Chains A and B, each alone.
Chain A
Amino acid sequence: MRYGKFLNKLLLFLLTIPVLLFIFGPILWLFSASLSTQVELFSVPMHWIPQHPTLQNYLDILFPTLAVSSVPRTFATAILNSLKIASSVTIICILIGSLAAYALVRIPFKFNRAIQLGILGTRMIPEVSLVIPLFILASSLNLINTPIVLIIAYLSFALPFAIWMMAAFFQTVPIELEEAARLDGCSRLGILFRVIMPISIPGLISTAMFVFLLAWDEFFYALIFTSTLAAKTAPVAIAEFIGRYAVNITGMMAGGILAALPPVILGLIFQRYIVSGMTAGAVKG
């Protein structure tokens, strides 16, 4: 009996191996490439592990000297910009989005349905199409090349998304709790802050993580609205490693690893919450 169970466990473990390979394979390759020189990357047959590994690609980005081209030099700033922008978007979304989500889900009032549909609808238009009108709007307010313009632009599609997600999580808070609080004389706002929010923290963190990644990942708006150092984001900086005439591939790989680090670290920290958060929102409903 125990032998059978052991075999079972072994089998399952063996199954995880191809999955891990699938997940880590490309990433390890990316990492290995970021430690190579350009010459070695192009050598045939392929070197899986660079024979002359170098940290130069990372050094060029993190501690740039004047001799290094401007692209790696500005990369660190771009990452900082991305951090600033993604964090701001996330915080604002959670703060004002949670309010709206609660109202839409728990408070019956006349335009409730219309607003819900409207918010969902704005998510259906591809972002590519809204760039030019948004640009005109932002330009008339002198906001081009500032981080603010990206924050506002991202809010336009992150906020509906956040509201939708948080509404789903709030729904799973048992209605009895709210009714009990009501009976105790709690006001609507009181219920929201004292009952709903504390229970929904995993859901809020989940949403925060999703929104952060959404903002972190975004490329096209960042490309059009910013190109100076003041507001350039990580994806735009990575795209710059591909110039018209020369690709700094190894630099791009190093930049890629660096650009993926903040979300991964955040994911690691909040991993516990994401999973339990998704539980609450996705299942009971």
Chain B
Amino acid sequence: MVTISFMAPELNSLPKRRLTLRQQDARIAWLLIIPSLVVILGVALWPIVSTLILSFFNSPTGLNQTKTFVGLGNYLDMLQDQTFWETIGRTLYFTVVSVGLEMLLGLAIAQLIHSHPWGWKFLRFALIIPWAVPTIVNGAMWRWIYSADFGALNGLLMQLGLIKHYVPWLSLPDAAMNLVIVADVWHTMPLVALILQAALATQPQELDEAAAVDGANAFQRFWSIRLPLLRPAILVALILRSVDAFRVFDISYIITSGGPAFKTVTITYLTYLNTFSYGKQGTGAALSFLISIFTIIMAIIYIRFLYRPEES
């Protein structure tokens, strides 16, 4: 499996020879890794460490400000704050629904392409377009589509006779998050579809055909044969998308500015507000690490539940 083997190269190691060869190996390994390490450590290490240190202080933004050491105070304050948990809830909702929709749609479209209907090559090309549109353009476009008086959504629904009055979509507190989700799904679903379609394309046809001969219908073949073989690809897509979805910020900032009534404020948005708007860098730093902890837990859960040894 991709992730596991990546993390345990011993499974793939060559048979042990003399010790010096191993040392030689290690030397070459370092040589290959150093450039990347230097870049990553040189750039990311100090900011990460300094943010971590900052999270243990009450540090108002500004010059010559007194920093008071509060230990885990910022973390505890957050964990006891209602807004924090509400925001985590909203962010989890966004992650689950958005990623869920992307996986379902992606799988459906992948299967559709796989069955090679007329024009499937064009469909595969077309999938790249939403993914290639920069997030900020995507946000601005959907904001315009949802516009109450001038938007395409209202225009369309009106002309189809489905509504009598223009609906102020972005003003509806319960609908707002779902609207942002739609925009996000439109943008990133192609990625999932392309990954899964590629995976489907490499599955051996024989199993499928044998099952067809044995009398299994299309749905049964899909469920018992193709889907299990897809598991590794699904896992990759899930982890990739979940980690990014949980940390989403740009799109809700652009479409709704976090409103109405805070209903589209995600946890990274909250971090941004604390660090930049409210001048509470210590709190912002603590939030960042709480976010990291959440995403790491998510990744671990996925791997735990979805990793199965390779089925032959």
Q: Is A in direct contact with B (CB under 8 Å) within the complex?
A: yes
Q: Known interface pairs A217-B134, A264-B132. Does A99 touch B44 (Cβ–Cβ under 8 Å)?
A: no
Which residues A240-285 have CB closer than 8 A to chain B? 242, 249, 252-253, 255-256, 259-260, 263-264, 266-268, 271, 274-279, 281-285
Asked if B58 lies at the interface with its beta carbon under 8 angstroms from chain A, I say no
Could you tell me if A276 and B132 are in contact, using CB atoms closer than 8 angstroms? Answer: no
Query: Are A26 and B128 neighbours in the complex by a CB distance under 8 Å?
Result: no
Main secondary structure of the interface of A (DSSP, over half): helix
B residues in contact with A108, CB < 8 Å? 9-10, 13, 22, 25
Let me know if B43 and A168 touch, CB within 8 A: no
Could you say which of B33-41, B64-72, B73-81 contacts chain A?
Answer: B33-41
Given contacts A100-B36, A175-B12, A285-B310, 5 further A-B contacts (CB under 8 A): A26-B152, A41-B150, A238-B136, A259-B137, A282-B198
In the complex, B220 has a CB within 8 A of chain A: no
Residues in chain B near residue A84, CB distance under 8 A: none
Interface residue? A66 (CB, 8 A): no
Residue of A nearest to B25 (CB): A107
Using Cβ atoms and an 8 Å threshold, which residues of chain A touch B289? 125
Contact B133 A134 (CB under 8 A): no
CB neighbours of B26 from chain A (8 A): 107, 109-110
Of the A-B pairs whose beta carbons lie under 8 Å apart in the complex, a sample of 21, sorted by A's number, is A13-B117, A22-B186, A26-B186, A30-B137, A33-B144, A100-B37, A104-B9, A106-B9, A107-B9, A124-B291, A126-B288, A126-B291, A131-B275, A156-B44, A168-B236, A179-B14, A192-B32, A256-B140, A267-B131, A282-B2, A282-B236
- Asked whether A128 lies within 8 Å of B44 as measured between CB atoms, the reply is no
Known: A45-B155, A105-B9, A219-B250. A12 touches B36 (CB 8 A): no
Which A residues are CB-close (under 8 A) to B131? 213, 267
CB of A102 closer than 8 Å to a CB of B: yes
Residues of B within 8 A of A68 (CB): none
Please tell me if A80 contacts chain B, counting CB pairs below 8 Å. no
B130 touches A27 (CB 8 A): yes
Q: Is A27 within 8 A of B194, CB to CB?
A: no
Q: A30 to B40, Cβ gap below 8 A? A: no
A163 close to B36 (CB less than 8 A): yes
C-alpha spacing A249/B141, complex, angstroms = 10
Determine the distance from Cα of A15 to Cα of B233 in the docked complex, in whole angstroms: 24
Cβ of A128 and Cβ of B132 under 8 Å apart? no
Q: Is A194 on the interface with B (CB-CB < 8 A)?
A: no
Interface flag for B223 (CB, 8 Å)? no
Q: Which A residues from 100 to 134 make CB contacts under 8 A with B?
A: 100, 102-110, 112-113, 115-117, 119, 121-126, 128-134
Q: Are A188 and B28 in contact (CB under 8 A)?
A: yes
Residues on B with C-beta less than 8 A from A24 are: 126, 129
Q: In the assembled complex, which residues on chain B have CB atoms less than 8 Å from the CB atom of A260?
A: 129, 132-134, 137
**How many residues on B have C-beta within 8 angstroms of the other chain's C-beta atoms?**
99
Considering the chains assembled together, what is the distance between the CA atoms of A268 and B128 in angstroms?
Answer: 8
- Give the chain A neighbours of B136 by CB distance below 8 A: 219, 235, 238-239
Chain A residues positioned under 8 Å from B14 (CB to CB): 178-179, 182
Q: Which of B9, B43, B197, B202 makes the CB contact (< 8 A) with A152?
A: B43
User: Which residues of A have CB within 8 Å of B144?
Assistant: 33, 249, 253
Give the interface SS of chain B, mostly helix, strand, loop or mixed: helix
The answer to whether A188 and B134 touch (CB under 8 A), given A42-B150, A133-B51, A155-B39, is no
Structural contact, A122 and B44, CB atoms closer than 8 A:
yes
Q: Enumerate chain A interface residues (CB-CB to B < 8 A).
A: 9, 12-13, 15-16, 19-20, 22-24, 26-27, 29-30, 33, 41-42, 44-46, 48, 92, 96-97, 99-100, 102-110, 112-113, 115-117, 119, 121-126, 128-134, 137, 152-153, 155-157, 159-160, 163-164, 167-168, 171, 175, 178-179, 182, 187-189, 192, 213, 216-217, 219-220, 234-235, 238-239, 242, 249, 252-253, 255-256, 259-260, 263-264, 266-268, 271, 274-279, 281-285
- Complex: A278 Cα to B12 Cα, angstroms: 21
Q: Is the CB of B51 within 8 A of A112?
A: no
**A129-B140 CB under 8 A given contacts A219-B250, A264-B129:** no
Most interface-central of A12, A110, A117, A266 (chain B CB within 10 A): A12
Q: Which residue of A lies closest to B150 (CB)?
A: A42
Q: Which of A15, A16, A277 has the most CB of B within 10 A?
A: A16
Nearest residue, chain B, Cβ from A249: B144
Taking a contact as CB atoms under 8 Å apart, the answer to whether B134 and A281 are in contact is no
For residue B56, CB closer than 8 A to chain A, the reply is no
B33 pairs with A99, CB closer than 8 A = yes
Contact A126 B43 (CB under 8 A): no
Q: Which of B39, B155, B287 is most buried by chain A, counting CB atoms within 10 A of its CB?
A: B39
Is there contact, CB below 8 Å, between A252 and B140? Answer: yes
Set A102, A132, A263, A264: member contacting B281, Cβ < 8 A: A132
What is the minimal beta-carbon distance from A56 to any residue of chain B, in angstroms? 19
Q: Which residue of A lies closest to B230 (CB)?
A: A283
Question: Measured between C-beta atoms, what is the minimum distance from A180 to chain B in Å?
Answer: 12
Across the interface, A130 reaches (CB within 8 A) one of B6, B48, B194, B236, namely B48
Question: Measured between alpha carbons, how far is A15 from B112 in the docked complex, in Å?
Answer: 8
A41 to B, closest residue via Cβ: B150
Q: In the complex, A112 Cα to B137 Cα: how many Å?
A: 40
Q: Are A115 and B33 in contact (CB under 8 A)?
A: yes
